[in-house]
Each structure stands twice: as structure tokens, then as C-alpha cells.
Structure 1
């Protein structure tokens, strides 16, 4: 009841502040009629103490949709007298304002304002980190988990966007992996964008794109930032990161090095029932121990002239696990129960490095060329020794489990952008990547043959963007040829041989009814290919009667999606329908060769989704709030799985910030997902309430205090029945706890300048 009460409280607050809105557009000129090149518009509601600020560029400025009422505006520009006026904003208004020349010398001023940190426009959710309390969280995965409709797994190794699945990840508009995402220091991020309707410029392997844009270096000077975050959850965790930005005229450098000393905690419980044999396998596992991470990056950019540059960037992570695992298992067979207590000595290595080289050239005033190459290497090596400790006086080594996966990926790309005129723009490009992976897996009783997997993809795309009065559109087509070969290395026997060519259209049309209302329609076809860590023959020991297995025969999942959107001011209504074929679900089966139950990734026949989304943002004095309501129905069908029926789900998200002064703010966020059925799967409800406080003492020192999962309600439970095996699994999270981040910054920098992009568009498959 406390979850529902909290949910309806936020709903009531959100709708209580729904207001009719209008926009203000101004053309600002000098006395001789010339447009003012740059200035600032300050607008303040009569009963509001916090003003809003907008930049005037080339004499033009338009506010966001504002609640109707009486406002005071002030327009300032260097060399001109301040213009001030009070007026009633009752509807959309357009004004022409003339500034008078002023020769008075300007003194330094300090501005305090409430700026919106989270916006949603044309299918793009944008978080500006400079104005968000999220910028103070200890790692990037924690920031991503706070976005509406985004769910990060309990182990923080996978991301899911409601209705979209796993997003593809980009760093400065090019693809990265989840490892590289977690290696990015939060303090280095300028903004995060979630693209729910990406264009054909982005590869077809994804239904949503998550773009991380880094802060850029300046032309000269330096700045160093030291940040330490300490968190008390189940155990104590400490995150330390240092960032340095250095500029030498045309040459810019950015350096980052961190050290995370974690006392990791992870737990799950599962019950599998095999009705055919009257067999029940029920266990609870706890993994707890030290985890060391050293993330870092080095970036160099050189400006050849005002427009052209060459750059390189290297990101790496050194990751070491040394965590014992305790597993208690109860086996019921033929009416008799048997208890097992296992202790596992587990050591793991997950090292990752990627490096790229970029070249950007402005061929003409309206034509730009980008080229780049990238190399990535990832290794994942785990050794587990499992002991039977059911009887402490007779401890036995019952199993040895070793898994290793190495992956090397080379990629290259070239993009060209042509601006025909102010109404039409054309983009086109070519991409290629080649991947070579190797995996090995063995236990005391079963040694899997070593497996090699090669994959190459050649892709090209073209996109036309246009603006015809009130109609704007983007129409694109992507062509991808994908070749996959899998073989057992000891016999060189080919077991996977696939050569596929697919077309992926993406079309978006937006019609502006008026300045407050617009309607858009979006269609996209995409594909979700399995990661390299899934498409192999690795087998992981869970207990004596259960293994986790990978699948060399996984097929890519194809998706067709149609989205209708209606936008009124800042609020929006979105209706979505999609169909996935060969979607990936984690299901169970019985392996007669080993006489064990096995669970792992499996293709299902189809998945249909029907979603309705409402976005309700608002501001009131010092209060900024983003509210996100999501209702829908998901129906997954497969011949091997029992139909659990379908029931609608409701998801609610609310993110709130109270900015008392420019140096002190308090935040509160909450989300709730109700229990529902998805055809082959049932999913229990979950929720999380978090509270934050942010204080900046001066230009050098700041601190951030946070409490996550205050109600201790965040856990994920799913159930299904497939091939006669019923499964119900709960994943416990380590979010409940408090933390403190302290940041020290010194140095002085001028203009930002660092430029770099990643080239590999399929990096997230290197897991």
C-alpha cells in the first residue's frame, strides 16, 4: 500500500500543477535596424522570484512554453542599455525590440536562475548535467538508472528501455560498450540524450540510442577535478576519480584516471519445477567480496584550422573480482528433500581497451566529411572452484568452472553531410566492422570444445532531412550485409554459417499545427543481434542439477515499430505499436546428455507491444518536476512456452528538484512498475524512492549527499514455464543505502575545444 500511496501522491501533485501555456518570440535590433549578434533575455513571472534566461543569437530568441500570466522581461547586450518591460502573456506573442546604445562600462554580474535539466522534444529525452543533481552521482550507470523508463540491471551490466529493449550506446555520437560507459567519469559528461526514434544514421542494431556527450576542452589553460564518493550499502564502496583538461592553443588534451575499491554484494534466488519428473530445484545464491576497478581515458585533439581537426582517444578499464559465492540448494525428487551447501572461490578478470583515430574536414561551406577507425579488445576470464560444505568435517571439491572469452574488433566509417539550403539537408555514410572472438569453457566433468566466432558487417545509409513550411521530415534507408561463421577450433568444424542482407527504413514526419501543438508519425525497422558473449558454447555451473548455458544458434531479433506523437507545449502524448520476431528471452530446458536443467538465452516466436505514454513536465517557482506515465500491454508467444496470459502494466516516474539558491538544492525521484503478465512471462512490481541534497561551497569545493531506495523496495521477480519447466527468479539489488560525494576543482580554462568520436557502431556486443 505504501508504494501505491506514494505513486498516487505524485500523480496528484503532477496534475494539480498542469497549466495553460504560451511562448514569447523576440526580434532584437539596434537603433539602425541591425540584428543584435548576442545578448540575454531574462523573463520573470510576477509571483515568481527565480527568473529564466535565454540566449539571443543573431537577434532572435524564443522562450519555452510558459504558464500564462504577467511577466517582466529584461534584455541585455554588451554596448546597449538594458531594456525592461512588464506585460501580460495570455497567448503566443511575437515582439520586435530596439536597444539603445550605451557607452557605460559593464561591471561583473552574478546570475542565479532555475534552468530545466531534463527535457523531452521530438522523441529525444535530454539531460543537461550542468544543471542536474544527477551530475553528482558516483558512476554513470547510476545516472542512467535515474532516467524515466530506463531500467539498469542489478549487476549494472545491462540496460533496458521500456518498450525498446537494450539501447545502443554512443559516446559523442559513436558506439561504445557498457564497460566504456561505466568508465566515463560523471563529471566529464556535458549531457545525456535518449533517442527513442533514431534516424538511419544510427546502425540498425537497436531500437533506441543513448548518447553521452562529453564536456569539451578549452583552447588554453588547465583544470583539474578530484572527486571521491563513499557509499554505505550492504557493504562499504569507495569511488575515486581524477580528471584533467589541458589546452595549448590548437592542441587539446583530456586525461582521466579512477580507482574504485568496492565490496560488491549480489544475490538472487530461483525455484525451478520440472513437472514431468516431479522435480524441484530451489536455491539462493550470495556473492560478496572485493572488486577493484581502474577506469581511465586519454584524449588528444589538434585543430588544423577553424573547422578541420584530427583527434584520438583511448578508453580502458582494469577490472578484478575476488568474490566467494555461497549457494544453498534444496532438491525435491520423488517426494524426498535433499539439502546442499556450496562455497565457491571465484576470481575474475574483465579488462577492456578501445582506441580511435578521427579526421574531420569541411570540404565546402555546405559539405562536411568525417572519417575514423577504431580498435577494441575485451577479455573476460573467470575461474570458479566449487566446494561441498554441507558437512563441515568433509569438505569436497565438487566442481571446477572456467570460462574465458576474448574479442577483438576493428571498425571504420566515413560520413558526409551536405546542406543544400535552409530547407534540405542530406547525410550519407559507409561503415564496416570485423570481429574475431574466442571462447573456452570447462568443468571437472565436462570440457566444452573451444569455440571461435568471426563476424563482418558492411553497411551504408542515406538520409534526407527537409522542412516545408509546417511539415518537417526525415527519411532514411540503411543497408547492412552481415556474415557470421562459428567453428570448433580443435576440429575446425563449421557449425554456424550465415550471410544475410537486410534493408532498414526509418521515416519521421512532423506537422506543426501552431506554436503550441504538433503531431508526428515515425516508422522504423531495426535488428537486435546477440552479443559476442552470448553467441558461444560457454557453460556455467549453478549447482549439481542446474547449469547456465549460452547458445551458438541464437538468431537476430527483427523489429517493426510505429509511433504516433502529439505535443502540446512541453507536455506530450505518445502511442506505440511494435512487433519483434525472434526476440531473446532467458528460458529453461532439460539436457538429457548431462541429466541437468539448463537456462539461457533463447529465441521466441514473436512479441507484440502496445504502449501509451504521457509526459507532464512543469516548473513552479523554485520547483522543477518531470513526470512520466507509461501504460501498455506486452504479449509474447512461443510454441515451447506456456501462455501465462496478458495483463496491462502501469509505470510512473517523477523527478523533482527544489533549487533554494544557486548553490544549494534538494532532489527527490520516484518510480513504480506494477505487476503484470507478458504472455510467456510474469513480472512482479517494483519501485524506488531516492532523496538527494547538493551543496556548492565555492568555486573549488562541493558535496553531494544521497539516499537510494529509501523504502528498500527495489527487487526484480520474473516467472515463466517453458518446455515443461516452471521458473520463478528474484534478483535482489544493492541500491538501498546512503552516500557522500566530495569534489575539489582547481585551475582555469578558457574556450572549450576538444573533439572526438568513437567509430565502432557495434561495441556494446563486446561484452
Structure 2
């Protein structure tokens, strides 16, 4: 059968389990000690090749230009997105600087669509054909007549307010205030990008946490994206982009937070609102929703609902090169993979709540949210295997079908107190119950150059994940002499995670369990926090200083159905202090200010990265979690100049200890395993 390469499918052994033997790092357990130097070279090569936008041998160029208004005034903060002309898929993006200039580095020569957007201006589109690095013609943006009309009718209302470390966008004052979903609204804000994998980028910085009403969603990855996509923007009052959070916020989040504030009931009597939107690129996306409120005297009721449907395409091209026998004389082998997937999403979101003013001092609010989300992902992967410089020797064709269901319910109770001495206090209880189920079916066919089937195997998997979160929090504030104010608070959070993955192979017409791939994992986390903070004004200086203490206690247990592998467990307990400092100088007789900000933050591994489950792309590519991950610690420093409370120029520095990044390991039969690791 020619010189076909037979790479036998073998299960990934969970070598990072922790039996009674001496502990080793996850990477040491994944890679064999023998030939470690050669395998590390392969890892480095594969890591560079996996990021397929970088391995292409084409010349990379720079796209740059300038954006102005019709009066030739430069525009700062314009969001520029570089998209594919075929399906409008996102490729890269940036924002204009204080001079209205933008730069997109490392762009491959090709035909692209540039999208320019900014609050209060009409979107502009420009098709470009990149051949060499050169500035584009000036882009002129026109004011949005619809926005101007709305201002004429309802009165002047600020689209955004700016202060050191925080920019607040008023969704009621924006054109998109009653359209679309929260995910689209976030993507429309200057400097904000939310990718389909759940990663959030703010002003070019990653590791951004998303909050709702000042509280964590405790969701990450596609769970966070699905939640934001299901929530209608009509239910949102404003969105805060916080680059330097104060001590009252959780310390989680590498360089900042995005806080989504929901609408309150303010209009007497019944009000009803309906909205719908439709987007068309390569595929259509639409949502429909509404809001119903009732207010009488001290009682307010509200109901929000949204339904969403859409399709998304994704591609992944991987090229690998490796030494067949790890010897100088053995031939080099190439594996070229091309994956194509098309997501079909459908989601429903609803929120029901009540607020009541007990008297002049006390009030309370109770609410509950529900989310239903379904996603179907049909996919295909073609893998071609050959010796370097030789024709294709054999090929692997993979057809897969993934179906995901997510169900979540969350809510809370908030009790507020205030008095005429400017003293305030609040007490809240919150919960989240999230269920994630996923089924996978995969058919693999190995063929020779004549397209004759040499081998066929079928795999199926059933994965589930359950998250249960409960938290209690209290805050208190009081005025101090000399225009100062004191804040303090406590918070307690408990998170339980229960994951399972069961795989089976079709053998002689029967499904037989694959115990080497199957797994069960339980994780428990408890975070106890306390903070103090002082705000005040001294002459032309505004000061804010705080200190937050967080104790983190975690435990995890992994169970394996493979009798040759032992169950393992681990625990950890650590305490960190997180100082924050903001100093603002208000320049006399102007609306301008200069500020210095410092904060320390933490990034705990998300639950998906900790789960030691295998996601199988095909016989040669898999991804898994790493239960040995440690938290990142980041120090952030920011110098900012704010001009007339409308424009900001910022100098930002960040240092991260033990950052979490993706690594690649090679196991038996040259199977590549992608996993997260501290560096």
C-alpha cells in the first residue's frame, strides 16, 4: 500500500494525574524525558506554525491612514476593523490616536474591507487591495443625522463621560440604544473587541473581566459570548470601560473591567418597548426582543426578553513538520490540515425583577435571569501527509458534528440603606446555576493517493459541565472631614464545578467505552475578600487610595474510569494584597486634567483551562486543560491626560508574573496536544 504513513490513533494518557509518586510539572508529564531536546524544538516550531496568520510565507505590509470629519478636524478613538471581502470575517483592528492616525501592522497582501465606526458618525467602508506599505487616502466621516435628530427632539445628552481610569457610555443616548444585543454593542464601542472564543480586549490589552451591575458573571469563553449575545441592548442603561478599577471591585481582571449597568424603572405607569435588528454578511443574524415595565409610587416591576439566531463561519489551517524517527538521517514529514466549520446559534434571554422603596432610608431589589442557548457546529477537516519535497502519500478526512446546549439561571437580592448624613450601606446575595452539555460525533477515513479507504474509525463523546456559584457581599461608606470619604466592604464567594467527559469508539457495530479519553473532574473555589478605600480632594488634586485583601482556597479531584490510572486530587490556599492609587491634578481655569493610576490585579485560570478534558479535532490534533495552572499577578501603571473631558491620551505599562499561554506538546504517534501553561 504505497509508502503510506500509518499513524495509529491512540488515546491521550492523562499523564498529569497526581498519584502518590513525587510531583512533576504538567509539561514534564506530557513529554517523554527521552529526546526532550528534539521535542522542545518541535514544540517551538509547531507553536509558530499553529498561529496560521503568521506562518504564511507572504510578505507582510503595513496599512495606515488618517480619519477626519467634514471640517478636516482629526478624529480620535475611531474604531477600524480589517475584514475579509469574502465573508466579512474579522481579521484585525485598531483605533485612531490623538492625531486621527491609525496603523495596522503585519497585513498580508490581499483584498480587504476596512470598516470605520465612531459614536455620532456614520459608518464608513473602504475596499483596499494591499500590495505595498503606503498610507491610504484620508477617510472623512459624516455626522449621523439620525443621532442629531434625536438630540433635537429630546434635548442634549452626553454620549459619554470621561474621568481618570473610567469612560462611561450612555446607551439611551446612542443610536444603537434600542437595537441588537449587548455583544454587538460592546463591539461598537471604541477600543473594545470581543472575539468568538470569549477573549475581551480593551485598548489593545487582554484579560478583561465583564461585570453586570458591578458583579462578575463567572462565565468565560463561549459561555460568556453566548450570554452577551442573548442579552438585548435595550435592557442596558450604560456601560463603563474601567482601565484602573478601585479596591471595591474584585481583583480579577488583568488590566481592567467592563461593567454593564442594567435599566431601572423610572417612568410611572405601564411602558412597553419592542425592538428587532437584522445583520447580513456572508450569513444572516437577527434578534427580536422587548421590555415591559410598571411603576406606581414605591413599587417598580420589569420584564425583559430577547430571542437571537445567527450563523458564523470559522476556518483553521495548520502546517506541521517533524522528524519521522528523531534521527539526523530520517526524512522530514509534513502534515497539512484544513478545517472548516459553520456555527448555527439560537438563544433566548429573559429577566424578571422588582424594586421597592420601603421608606426614605431603605429600599430593595430582587431579580432573576434565565438563558437558553443552542449551537450546532458541522465541520470538516482534511489532513494531507507527505515526505518533505514528495507528493502526498496519504490523507485523513474527518467529518464532525458538535451540538451544544446551555441553560443558566441567575439572580439576587439587594438591600440598600442611606441617610441624610451621606452614609450608605448595602447587603446583597447572588447565585448562578449554569448547565452545559455537548455531544460530539466524528468519522475519520484514512485514504491513499488513489482515494482508496485504508482505515475508518468512528468516535463519539458526551461532555457536561455544571457551575454553581453563590456569593454574599456588603459595602459601607461614610463622609470624613476635609472633603474626604471612607469606603469598606466584605465579600464571600463559593463556586462548585462538576465536569464529565465520556468517549466511545464504534467497534464491530457496537459502541465500546474509551476509558483512556474519558474523565470526570470536580473543582471547588472559595474567595473571601475585604477592602478599604479613601477618596478626597486637596486643592486641585483628587485622590483615591485603596487596599483589597483576597484569600483564595481551591480544591480539585480528577476521576478516571481507566483502572490503570489512579484518581488524583490537589488543594491550594493563598492570600494576596491588591493596592490601588489614583492621583488627578485639575489644571486651573480649564477642563483639562493629568492623572497617575496604579493597581495590582490577578487572573485566576478559568474553569475551562483547568478541566483536564480532551477536545479532539482529528487523529493528530487535540486540546486539553491543565489542572496545575497557577494564577497570574499583574502590576499596572497609567499616565493619562484628559482634554476638555472629551479626549484622552494615555501611557500604559503592565508587568505580569507567570502569564498563562498556550503550549504545544507532542505525544506518541506525533499527535499534537494544545494546552495552557504558566510561563
Same fold per superposition (TM over 0.5): yes
CA deviation map 1:621-655 (0-9, x unaligned): xxxxxxxxxxxxxxxxxxxxxxxxxxxxxxxxxxx
Aligned mates of 1:581, 1:531 — CA distance in 2: 17
Q: Structure 1 residue 379 and structure 2 residue 435: aligned?
A: yes
What SS is found at the alignment partner of 1:414? strand
Select the structure that is richer in strand.
1
Q: 1:156-195 alignment to 2 at 5 Å?
A: 157-176=198-217, 177=219, 178=224, 179-195=226-242
What SS is found at the alignment partner of 2:67? helix
Decide whether the 8 Å contact of 2:605 with 2:630 is kept in 1: yes
Decide whether the 8 Å contact of 2:546 with 2:581 is kept in 1: yes
- Give the aligned partner of residue 519 of structure 2: 449
Aligned mates of 2:379, 2:62 — CA distance in 1: 38
Superposition RMSD on alpha carbons, in Å?
2.9
Aligned mates of 2:616, 2:488 — CA distance in 1: 47
- Give the aligned partner of residue 628 of structure 1: none
- Give the aligned partner of residue 130 of structure 1: 172
Q: CA deviation at 1:249?
A: 2.4
CA deviation map 1:417-436 (0-9, x unaligned): 11225611111000011111
CA deviation map 1:362-401 (0-9, x unaligned): 2562211111111111122211110135779969443223
What SS is found at the alignment partner of 1:202? coil
Q: CA deviation at 1:191?
A: 1.3
Q: CA deviation at 1:238?
A: 2.5
What SS is found at the alignment partner of 1:499? strand
- Give the aligned partner of residue 423 of structure 2: 367
Q: CA deviation at 1:301?
A: 1.1
Structure 1 residue aligned with 2:662, among 586, 590, 593?
A: 586
Q: CA deviation at 1:118?
A: 3.6
Structure 2 residue aligned with 1:433, among 466, 490, 493?
A: 493
Aligned mates of 1:351, 1:427 — CA distance in 2: 37
Decide whether the 8 Å contact of 1:590 with 1:597 is kept in 2: yes
Specify whether residues 281 and 425 from structure 1 end up closer, same or farther in structure 2 by C-alpha distance, changes over 3 A only.
farther
Q: 1:64-143 alignment to 2 at 5 Å?
A: 111=153, 115-143=157-185
Q: 1:346-365 alignment to 2 at 5 Å?
A: 346-362=402-418, 365=421
- Give the aligned partner of residue 152 of structure 1: 194
What SS is found at the alignment partner of 2:628? coil
Structure 2 residue aligned with 1:242, among 253, 276, 290?
A: 290
CA deviation map 1:320-361 (0-9, x unaligned): 123311222223457554322211122111222111111112
Decide whether the 8 Å contact of 1:183 with 1:316 is kept in 2: no
Q: 1:112-511 alignment to 2 at 5 Å?
A: 115-155=157-197, 157-176=198-217, 177=219, 178=224, 179-206=226-253, 207-218=255-266, 220-274=268-322, 278-288=332-342, 290-332=344-386, 337-362=393-418, 365-388=421-444, 396-421=456-481, 423-444=483-504, 445=514, 446-489=516-559, 493-511=567-585
Aligned mates of 2:368, 2:69 — CA distance in 1: 48
Aligned mates of 1:115, 1:371 — CA distance in 2: 32
Q: CA deviation at 1:188?
A: 1.6
Specify whether residues 286 and 357 from structure 1 end up closer, same or farther in structure 2 by C-alpha distance, changes over 3 A only.
same
Greater mean alpha carbon deviation, residues 475-484 or residues 128-137: 128-137
Specify whether residues 599 and 256 from structure 1 end up closer, same or farther in structure 2 by C-alpha distance, changes over 3 A only.
same
What SS is found at the alignment partner of 1:553? coil
Aligned mates of 1:7, 1:254 — CA distance in 2: 47
- Give the aligned partner of residue 53 of structure 1: none
- Give the aligned partner of residue 547 of structure 1: 622
Q: CA deviation at 1:568?
A: 3.1
Aligned mates of 1:363, 1:332 — CA distance in 2: 77
Decide whether the 8 Å contact of 1:228 with 1:241 is kept in 2: yes
Specify whether residues 280 and 357 from structure 1 end up closer, same or farther in structure 2 by C-alpha distance, changes over 3 A only.
farther
- Give the aligned partner of residue 139 of structure 2: none
Decide whether the 8 Å contact of 1:308 with 1:362 is kept in 2: yes
More RCO (CA 8 Å, sep 6+): 1
Specify whether residues 512 and 147 from structure 1 end up closer, same or farther in structure 2 by C-alpha distance, changes over 3 A only.
same
Aligned mates of 1:149, 1:275 — CA distance in 2: 44
Specify whether residues 319 and 110 from structure 1 end up closer, same or farther in structure 2 by C-alpha distance, changes over 3 A only.
closer
**Structure 1: segments with no counterpart, 5+ residues:** 20-108, 605-767
- Give the aligned partner of residue 572 of structure 1: 648
Q: CA deviation at 1:263?
A: 3.4
Q: CA deviation at 1:204?
A: 0.8
CA deviation map 1:701-742 (0-9, x unaligned): xxxxxxxxxxxxxxxxxxxxxxxxxxxxxxxxxxxxxxxxxx
Decide whether the 8 Å contact of 2:293 with 2:303 is kept in 1: yes
CA deviation map 1:75-107 (0-9, x unaligned): xxxxxxxxxxxxxxxxxxxxxxxxxxxxxxxxx
Q: State how many pairs are aligned.
A: 511
Decide whether the 8 Å contact of 1:403 with 1:540 is kept in 2: no
CA deviation map 1:589-624 (0-9, x unaligned): 1124x75111122222xxxxxxxxxxxxxxxxxxxx
Q: CA deviation at 1:265?
A: 3.0
Decide whether the 8 Å contact of 2:404 with 2:439 is kept in 1: yes
Decide whether the 8 Å contact of 2:371 with 2:409 is kept in 1: yes
Decide whether the 8 Å contact of 1:405 with 1:533 is kept in 2: no
Structure 1 residue aligned with 2:611, among 532, 536, 542?
A: 536
Aligned mates of 1:127, 1:568 — CA distance in 2: 17
Specify whether residues 5 and 499 from structure 1 end up closer, same or farther in structure 2 by C-alpha distance, changes over 3 A only.
closer
Specify whether residues 484 and 274 from structure 1 end up closer, same or farther in structure 2 by C-alpha distance, changes over 3 A only.
farther
- Give the aligned partner of residue 663 of structure 1: none
Aligned mates of 2:270, 2:301 — CA distance in 1: 9
Specify whether residues 390 and 173 from structure 1 end up closer, same or farther in structure 2 by C-alpha distance, changes over 3 A only.
same
What SS is found at the alignment partner of 1:447? coil
Q: CA deviation at 1:120?
A: 3.2
Decide whether the 8 Å contact of 2:638 with 2:650 is kept in 1: yes
Decide whether the 8 Å contact of 1:442 with 1:539 is kept in 2: no
Structure 2 residue aligned with 1:8, among 65, 81, 89?
A: 65
- Give the aligned partner of residue 722 of structure 1: none
Decide whether the 8 Å contact of 1:441 with 1:537 is kept in 2: no
Select the structure that is richer in helix.
2
Decide whether the 8 Å contact of 1:217 with 1:252 is kept in 2: yes
Aligned mates of 2:631, 2:186 — CA distance in 1: 26
Aligned mates of 1:597, 1:472 — CA distance in 2: 54
Decide whether the 8 Å contact of 2:179 with 2:275 is kept in 1: no
What SS is found at the alignment partner of 1:381? strand
Aligned mates of 2:178, 2:338 — CA distance in 1: 34
What SS is found at the alignment partner of 1:431? strand
Aligned mates of 1:389, 1:227 — CA distance in 2: 48
What SS is found at the alignment partner of 1:145? helix
CA deviation map 1:409-449 (0-9, x unaligned): 11110111112256111110000111111112243343333
Decide whether the 8 Å contact of 1:380 with 1:404 is kept in 2: yes
Specify whether residues 4 and 249 from structure 1 end up closer, same or farther in structure 2 by C-alpha distance, changes over 3 A only.
farther
Decide whether the 8 Å contact of 2:191 with 2:202 is kept in 1: yes
Q: TM-score, normalised by structure 1?
A: 0.62
Q: CA deviation at 1:216?
A: 1.4
CA deviation map 1:276-321 (0-9, x unaligned): 8534433222222532211111111111123421111111211112
Q: TM-score, normalised by structure 2?
A: 0.70
